[in-house]
Amino acid sequence: MAPVKTEAIILKKNNFRETSVILSLYTEHLGKIKGLLKGVRTEKSRIPPLAFTPGAHIFALSYMKRSSELNLISSPSLIEYYDICGKENLKAWHLILNLVNLFTQEKEKDEKIFNLLKKTGKILVSSSTPEIVFVIFKLRIIKIFGYGIELSRCTICRKEEEHPFFSGKEGGIVCRKCRGREAYAVNISGRILNVMRQLERMDIEKSGIIKSIPGEILRKINFYANITLNYHTDMDKIWWANEKNLL
C-alpha cells in the first residue's frame, strides 16, 4: 500500500525493543493513529530525537495496515517543536496530549482537533496562565466531540433556569423541575456558571486576555468538564488524577 503523507502532533512515545519507538499521533488527514518508527534510537540514525518527541509537530509517511492497529511510520521531519520551558506550561501541554490520546478514536479524522492542538502548543510557549489555557482547551474539545456543554438552557426541557444544576450525563445544565429525572446532577453556583459561559465562548487564542481566575472556580469548572467526559468513557482508571498537579 502506498504511504500517506501527513502532518501530525505526537501524543505519546514508547520505546520498542532496542532501537525503535511506537508513536501515538494525531494526524491532519487520518485522525489518531499508532505507528512503529524503526531504528531511530541509534547513533547512526539521521532522524533527530525532536522528530519523535511528544508534543512535536512533524511531517511523516504512514503505511496503513488493514489487519493491525499498529502501522508503520517513516521519514519523520520536524515542522515545529513548541519550546515550552515553564514547568506549569509543560504540565498543561502533557495533560492536553494525554487527554487527546485517551478520548479520540483510532482513525477518526477531525481537523478541528488537529488545528486546536497546533494553536494550543503555540500559546503555551509563552502563556502566563497555562491552567486557564488547559481548561479552555478541555471545554473546546468537549464541544468538538459533541458532548456539550450546554450552559444557556435546560438540556432536557430547553427552558431557561435562573438556578440550575449541572449534569455530566446530559452535558450541561438542568432546571429544578428536570432535576428529578437526572439523579446525578450536581449543584453549580451562578458565579461559576457565568465564568464557565465566558470561557466556553472564548477562542483559545484569546486566553491571554484573562489575567487570572480564582483557583477554586477553575477547579470547579474543570470538575464539571471531567464528569461530562467521564460519562462517555468506560475507562476504569481515574484518568484525571494528574490534573491536580496543575490546578
Class of CATH domain 4-80 = mainly beta
Distance CA(162)–CA(140), nearest Å, equals 24
Cβ neighbors of 162 (< 8 A, separation 6 or more) are none
Q: Where are the alpha helices (DSSP H) in 77-177?
A: 87-103, 111-124, 130-145
Can you give the pLDDT at residue 236?
74
Can you give the pLDDT at residue 1?
67
The ranges of the chain with pLDDT < 50 are none
Distance CA(202)–CA(196), nearest Å, equals 10
Instruction: Report the SS3 class of residue 123.
Output: helix
**Whether residue 58 has a cis bond before it, omega within 30° of 0:** no
The CATH number that domain 87-245 falls under is 1.20.1440.120
The model's pTM is 0.94
Question: Which tens digit of pLDDT belongs to each residue from 37-96?
Answer: 999 999 889 999 999 999 999 999 998 887 778 999 999 999 999 999 899 999 999 999
Q: Where are the domains of the chain?
A: 4-80, 87-245
Count the neighbouring beta carbons within 10 Å of the beta carbon of residue 200.
Answer: 20
Distance CA(174)–CA(180), nearest Å, equals 10
